[in-house]
Every structure is written in structure tokens, then in C-alpha cells.
Structure 1
């Protein structure tokens, strides 16, 4: 059955974590630092490769103990685990295939160039390749079922890693690839294009003449080669997913090395800028049409540009079509520490991971200063976890983000107008409390660099006048909407009065314990009269406004 979120023993689970470096998991006993790094960030999940060459070094001989050792490590560290099945593909090549596959190109067909020169990529058109991969994958799923079916330490398995062709071709010119490229486009793909006229796939189809059928070039023109690779790569992976799910039902997804989306990168060519055939933005519709056994298609987002980062999140968030947003790889810098709130608060993401978690620690095993913004974001998300799980898709949660050069923004909250002030915004006399005297001073300095840590928050409106807030470097002020007669209340013109013109019934700091909110501090007087402010170490702020 297709799943729309991570679960543990039937309960929703938000996966907040880090992916290890590529070679960290070959020897499970060496992974303490991997778990320690994610623990230091505040994560609850470690994702790590399970390499095919390590699991099946000799054909038909599987190292069950290796898989169990990885699970045991996660249990010892009291973390959940996502296993990354590095097999046919790893970043568009066959690096993690066993030696017995690499050394037998006759049996295990490679993707070929037009002159017959082989690439370092297995062909997605070769059933022998898929069956060998699928056999090993199903054995892995048997181990998970038998060793972890009750405990559910492993919450998901990623099938392959950034699949596609990274090389000098956009399709396989070998005999199997040539056969499939000359064949008619599958009816399912034509039906999808017709049923989704605003999709990228429909645009390619329409540009090529909107033919009711034909081969890949006839139907999709110049895009046909990439569409063919995308369809057969997606079907290859989905067949593996279907076989694996028949053995053990766990969340299954594929990840994506992204293209340049609306702007494009350099030549915008699959094979050069990204693995051709992967679920990039221009081919995502092909994957949606081809895949029936995957639960998510997940973008690896490293974009240093905020607009592209947010665009990539939005492209892959399609819960209405049954495709939830999960970000399995991202950088640990300050920009991402802010923009992850967009994925959670506006797009209902089911999980968010950074890559290379071990690099967040210094030589002494301490968290690097550069990783502190991400640690603060993890802390806020953990504090609000019961609220996130409850309100992920009901419209009661929203993200508040500061952009470089901006000191405030407006948002609507039901029957309230809200002004959010960030670092560098608000009045110079605004206060917090004595515990945050340094934060008060830093609040005066505007954020002008996208690499700097910026203000962010999640706001939950659970009733007309009742709210919960987690955030950092943010202060909120509320008013009822302006009168219908066109006037502006005089009190809005006086910043000093405006800051405390809306009464609160209470402002509390606290935390959730076993699903119940426990108050740890109460704000009043100076600490409460300058709006509702939040810093990462405040936990959850619970407040109610008074008419």
C-alpha cells in the first residue's frame, strides 16, 4: 500500500536527520561518529548507504550479519535508520555494483555510446541487470522483515541513488536501448500528458505536434531520448520497489540529482549537468506516470540561491497526487537552516535531512560553529514535533522566513493581521528578557548576506485566538484588520502604543511532554509588552490574544 508519511509502529514520524558520507557504513563498528554527529545536531534519524558490493560480494552470497549490525548500531544509539540501497546507480554511475557485475559486461549490459564504447553505467533496458539488483534487494527486505519487522528501526529504504546516465549520451545506444527507443511510446505516458495539459510532459508533447502515438522522437521531439531514458529508469526502479514491497512493506523512495528547473544549468543537458533519465523537473511527470510502488520522489537540494532552493522544494511537493515532500540530502549551512522551515511549514514536508553529518563535528568531536544554525533549527522542529505531526496538512501551520535585506513581513492569521519583525527590524527599545541580553543587541544588526543565519519561525493557529510559536530572531505583533470605512486607527501610528495595543490572555514558554504542553516560564510586563518574541532556546511559546 502506498504510504504518504513515515511511521513507526503505526504512528506518524517526522524524520529529522543526517546522511552519512558515502563510505561510512562499510564497517558498522566505525559508525559511532556518524550517529554522534546526528545526535549533536538534534536529529532522530541516520540515513546511510547499504552498498550492493558489500552486501553481495559473491553472487548469491548475502551478508545478513552486515545488515543486522547496521540496525544494531542504530538501536544502540536510539535512532531510526534509513538504508540507502546503492546498487545499479550511484550518482549516475555503477560505482557500488559488485565486482562480479563490473567484470562481466557481456552478461550485465552497459549503456553504450553510438560507436559502441561502453560507459560506466548499467543499462536500464537490460532485464538481467534489474533481476540481479532486484534479487539482492528482496533479500535485504527479507532481513528487514525478519530482524526488524517488530522494532521498526528502519523506517525507509531509498532505492538506488540519483539514478540515470552520467556520461556522453542521453540514451543507451546498445541493442536493448535501441529497441526500446524505436518502440512506440507507452499509452500510459500519452494518457498522462492528455490528462495533465499544464504539465512539462504535455508541453513537450504539444511542441512536437501532439501526435496520438508513435516512437519517442515522433511524440516528444528532441526531448524523446531523455523521456525514453526516464521512463525505463523509472520502470526499472519501480519494479524493484514492487518486488521488495511484496516481501516487506516499508516506505520506499527514489532520490534525484536536480536539474536547473525553470532557469536551467549551463547547457541544460542530461548526461552533462545531471544524470539523464533521473526524475529531474523536466522528467518528473514521466516518473509519476511510470511509478506505482514508490512512496516518494525526493529532491537532493544543495542550491545556494534561495529562489532556486525554494523552487525545488515546491516542484517535488505534490501531496494531492500522492507524492509528499521529503528532502533526503541538503547542505548544513545557514541558508538551509532557514529554508527548511518553508518545506515544513508551507509544503507539509514529511522529513528533512542534511548530507555529510560527520563533517559537522570538529577534530575534538564538538559541533562546528558553522553547524550551529542547523542545530538551532533542529531544536525548534523537535520542540514543535507534536504540532507539526498534527497540523502538517490542515492549514493551521505556517512558516515565517526572513530574506536577506528584509527586516519584516506581513502575514494573515485567520481574523488577525500579523507583523513579523526579524533581526534588524522593529523598534530600538524592543525587549526580550535578561537571559537574552546578547540577542537583544544582535537584533539591531540587519541581515544582508544570504549565507548569514536569518530569522525563521513556525506559527500554529490552533483556535481563533490561540497560537503556538517556535522561532529564532523573530518578534510578532498582532492587530485586528483595519476598519472597512477606510480609516486607520490612530494607535497604529504610534509605534510605542502599537506594540502593546493588543492584549494577551497569557504568554507561556514550555515544552510538550507525552503530548501535553507543560509550562516552564510565564511572560508578563516588560517581557510580554513588545510583541511575542522567540529565540531557539525558548522552546515552544504558547499564547492567546484577547479582543
Structure 2
């Protein structure tokens, strides 16, 4: 890892996610070794960077592959989940610890508490470690529910009264997709007390998912709560998403299974997908937020889903190609994300490292304004434009947003060359002044006041930021004429211009990809 820090820091990255694996720190039961972790924390601290630790304990990607060997080899002491073979109907043991057996959660909890105590002891005075992800993409693959003996026993019992009562009292705040899964439950009289889970929630794959979600949430919550008692850091879980809101433009091989799934079991059943997000938010109170891993879905839709109940937004895994990096601007600019992490960023190809600098370097420079957007989301708007489809022009699929008393229309950047991708954030500095960040787009402004006769651009300046911590702006170039479409829009070109198709060189390449636009309105 020692050779990875410098290029990441040079790209403008200040925080990385790194795994702490149960099988590595407790190879022998009761004996803990944190030497490797200590080295990573020290390296990050020396470079004034931060860490978000990912606890690979009982679960990683719907499996229990990171549990220690002494756990793997003792299935009687540490029972596993069972699924029913779809062909033979026989039960099959899985490599997944059952969430219905106390010995499993107790062993995980013991290790996690030791980890959190150790982090407290070596880092509480420094704050290098910012937060912790508890487990990784939990849930059961291969079946909608666990069919082991302990799971079947729980399934044949009545659901906890706290769960039943809370779902009824919180009905108005539940996601529509969960309400659909709870149709049978909500049709029962409020005084009904069914004898088991089937009588309460019905007999469907989605009812099984509710059962698994509740028990996974309680299992993970118990571990997180114990960890917080040892050292109070924010804790979250991530999620392997279902196929809801899939991006149909992404072509996948038929054997592809990760990153989606049409029903519980094809994606990890019980994990905090949108359909059961409320279950996790209600019954895992020690988990501060649920974070989506986004690869194949429509990015902006998932971001909106995971602001449910106004929870903080973080994307611990996402695409790291240009398609994914452009979407960072939506996450930070329109949804106030705390963090968005392209997966495998430490193995980013050297030939493509300029992409990291292009995006993270600029995001780092405007970090003061990103924090302001988190505090006041109405002041920011993030967006991106992908490679154009056949027939698309610079003004195809414009984006509209109202900010204060102005209606903004954002299009791809105008050029006499090819239509190119673009990305950016617009931040409202004051009533009539806007900070434009990014490249490959144009912005038109129209006053929303009923008395307005005319709207125009008073001034456009390319700027730079002299101090990222304060966001102090300094003028770099005075822009007008072609750079404003003769006063019709603020144009933010890319740093590299496309070849001209018309021999009139009106395009000016961006230098800082930052500009301040002052607009005005003439009133009656």
C-alpha cells in the first residue's frame, strides 16, 4: 500500500476505504493481531489522509468467506444458513453464517469490539479513521429465506410485537415498494395478532424478504451497538442493489449476476435494498445510514431513493470509468453526498490516472462549496451529459432547475466541433451570482419574476480558488462575446476541444473549469 498514497493524494483524494478482515485479525480464537492495520493507519496519518474502515466480519457479498478458519471448520458451534435446492427440493448447507444463532453474532461482536477498542486507543487523538462500515453487502443468496432449523423455528413464531406495532404506526412514512410487500399485513385488523410470520405477512418471496431483512438488521445492529460502546464512530452498511431502476443502456453478459437481481435470493435477500430499506432504518438504530453500491442502475434515481428519511448519502462502491466519474457531480452537487468512491481506485490504470485528477482534483478545489451544499441543498445543482447518442445535438435533453428567482437551462457545451460529454455543479453564490464548476456545458438564465421584461448576463469571469479551505475566488480571465454566446448563455468548455467541423475558431479551451456568472433582469 505504501506506493499507492502519493498518486491518490496527487489526484485530489483525501479519504480512502479499506477493509479490515476478521480472518486476518483473529486467526486464532481470542488472539488478535492489528499490526497490518496499524501500519495502514500510520501511513494515512503521515500523509494527512483519512480512512473509512470496512469490517468484513460475518458477511461479505452475501457470503461468510472472511470468517476465521476456526469458525469455518466448526458448523455445529457456528451454524450456517440452509437453502432449498430448486431442482431436488433438498436442503443445502451454504457458506453463510445463520443470523438466527447466537454463537455467530457473539463471536463477530467480540472481534468487532476488540477492533473498535484498538482504533480508539491508537487513533482517538488523531481522527484518522472517520467511520466504519459494518459487514459488506449482507443477505442470503440462493433462496428468499434461510431454511435452517433455527430460522424455521423463528418463522413459525409470531413476529416481535415491536416490529408489528412500529410498521403500523409508521405506515405513512414507508416506501411504496415496502407497502406493496406488506399488503397482506396491512389488510389485517389492527388488533390481529397472527401466530407466525406467514399469517402476518403472507406467503411470497417478498414476505420472506421482510423476514430476512428484520433478522439481518437486528444481527448487524447488535454488532454495531457494541462497537459504538467501545468507540463512538459513525457506522453504516452498504447494499448490493436489486434490479430496480436498472440502466437499460448498459449491456451485460448473460452470466452476469452481481450488482442486481430480479427477486430476493438472486440478490442477497434481507439486505437493505429499496424494498426493505425502512426495515433497516427502523430496526437497526445503531446504523447511521444505508449506503448503496451503484454499478448498473440509473445513478440519480438510486441517490434519491437512498436519501429516504433524510438519511446521509454515501456511495462506497461505484463505477470508476468515465461514465462513473461524471456521476460524482450529481452525487455531490444535487444530493449532498458525504462521499462517493469509485471501486478499486488503488488499481486505477496509470494511463487513465488523468481522469482521477480531472474529477477529484476539481472537486477537492471546491470542497468548501460542497460542504455548503450539504448544509443547504437548494444552493447546488449537479449534473452530467454522457456520450451523445445518434442524432443528439448540443441542446438535446436540456436540464432545468430553479435557483432563487432564476430558472436555469443547462445543455451540452456549444461547439462547432463534435458534441462531447460534460459535467458540472452550479452553486448559487448570491441572488444574482452563480459559481459554475466543470466543463462541456452551457447555462442559460431566465428570471422567474412576473415583472421581468428581459434576462441577461451582466458579467462572466473565469476564476480560480486561491484557498480551497475558504473558497476564496480570484479572477483569472474576463469573458464575453463568444464565451457568452453574445450574452445568451454562460459557456463552460472542456479543457480539450474537439476538432472543428466549421473553420471558425470561436471555442476557447477551459483553464480552471471555474467561472462566476452574474445575471440581471430588467423589470417593468
- TM-score bracket for this pair, using the shorter chain length: 0.7 to 0.9
> Which structure 2 residues correspond to residues 320-335 of structure 1 after superposition, within 5 A?
321-335=309-323
Q: SS at the partner of 1:184?
A: coil
Distance 2:152 2:241 in 1: 26
Q: SS at the partner of 2:434?
A: strand
The number of equivalent residue pairs is 469
Distance 2:224 2:261 in 1: 33
User: How far did 1:261 drift?
Assistant: 1.8
> Which structure 2 residues correspond to residues 176-195 of structure 1 after superposition, within 5 A?
176-194=150-168, 195=170
Q: Name the counterpart of 2:427.
A: 460
One of 389, 398, 412 as aligned partner of 1:422: 412
One of 358, 361, 383 as aligned partner of 1:379: 361
One of 129, 136, 152 as aligned partner of 1:154: 129
One of 111, 121, 124 as aligned partner of 1:136: 111
Q: Name the counterpart of 2:286.
A: 293
One of 456, 474, 490 as aligned partner of 1:532: 490
- In structure 2, stretches of 5+ residues that fail to align are 85-89, 248-256, 496-510
Confirm whether residue 312 of structure 1 aligns to residue 302 of structure 2. Answer: yes
Distance 1:341 1:213 in 2: 49
Deviations 1:488-538 (A, max 9, x none): 86xx9xxxxxxxx53228653334344150415131445754343334651
User: How far did 1:110 drift?
Assistant: 0.5
User: How far did 1:73 drift?
Assistant: 2.0
TM-score (norm 2): 0.83
Distance 2:210 2:133 in 1: 23
Q: Name the counterpart of 1:32.
A: 2
Q: Name the counterpart of 2:178.
A: 201
User: How far did 1:338 drift?
Assistant: 2.0
Q: Name the counterpart of 1:94.
A: 64
User: How far did 1:122 drift?
Assistant: 0.3
Contact 1:402–1:455 (CA under 8 A) maintained in structure 2: yes
Q: SS at the partner of 1:155?
A: strand
> Which structure 2 residues correspond to residues 361-372 of structure 1 after superposition, within 5 A?
361=349, 366=350, 368-369=351-352, 372=354
Confirm whether residue 111 of structure 1 aligns to residue 92 of structure 2. Answer: no
Distance 2:185 2:407 in 1: 49
Q: Name the counterpart of 1:81.
A: 51
Closer, same or farther: CA 237–336 of 1 in aligned 2, 3 Å: same
Distance 1:293 1:299 in 2: 18
Q: Name the counterpart of 1:171.
A: 145
Deviations 1:367-387 (A, max 9, x none): x33x54443221221121101
Q: Name the counterpart of 1:4.
A: none
User: How far did 1:46 drift?
Assistant: 1.4
> Which structure 2 residues correspond to residues 230-379 of structure 1 after superposition, within 5 A?
230-262=213-245, 268-271=262-265, 273-303=266-296, 308-318=298-308, 321-361=309-349, 366=350, 368-369=351-352, 372-379=354-361
Confirm whether residue 220 of structure 1 aligns to residue 198 of structure 2. Answer: no
Q: Which moved more, 1:212-221 or 1:401-410?
A: 401-410
> Which structure 2 residues correspond to residues 376-415 of structure 1 after superposition, within 5 A?
376-394=358-376, 395-402=378-385, 404=388, 405=392, 407-408=394-395, 409=398, 410-415=400-405
User: How far did 1:235 drift?
Assistant: 0.6
Distance 2:520 2:363 in 1: 27
User: How far did 1:340 drift?
Assistant: 2.2
One of 67, 71, 74 as aligned partner of 2:37: 67
Distance 1:120 1:406 in 2: 52
Distance 1:521 1:355 in 2: 35
> Which structure 2 residues correspond to residues 488-499 of structure 1 after superposition, within 5 A?
none
Q: SS at the partner of 2:167?
A: helix
User: How far did 1:116 drift?
Assistant: 4.6
Distance 2:281 2:108 in 1: 22
Closer, same or farther: CA 465–482 of 1 in aligned 2, 3 Å: closer
User: How far did 1:48 drift?
Assistant: 1.2
Distance 2:462 2:47 in 1: 36
User: How far did 1:145 drift?
Assistant: 0.6
Contact 2:460–2:515 (CA under 8 A) maintained in structure 1: no
Confirm whether residue 502 of structure 1 aligns to residue 457 of structure 2. Answer: yes
4+ residue runs of structure 1 moved beyond 6 angstroms?
263-267, 482-485
Q: Which moved more, 1:252-261 or 1:471-480?
A: 471-480
Q: Which moved more, 1:71-80 or 1:185-194?
A: 185-194
Q: SS at the partner of 2:151?
A: helix
Distance 2:200 2:4 in 1: 48
Confirm whether residue 120 of structure 1 aligns to residue 95 of structure 2. Answer: yes
User: How far did 1:216 drift?
Assistant: 1.9
Distance 1:105 1:85 in 2: 22
TM-score (norm 1): 0.79
Distance 2:39 2:94 in 1: 34
User: How far did 1:231 drift?
Assistant: 0.8
Q: Name the counterpart of 1:473.
A: 440
Deviations 1:136-188 (A, max 9, x none): 0000101111100010111111111111112x322222221111111212233
- In structure 1, stretches of 5+ residues that fail to align are 1-30, 429-443, 448-453, 493-500
Closer, same or farther: CA 415–110 of 1 in aligned 2, 3 Å: same
Higher RCO (CA 8 Å, separation ≥ 6 residues): 1
User: How far did 1:467 drift?
Assistant: 1.7
User: How far did 1:95 drift?
Assistant: 0.7
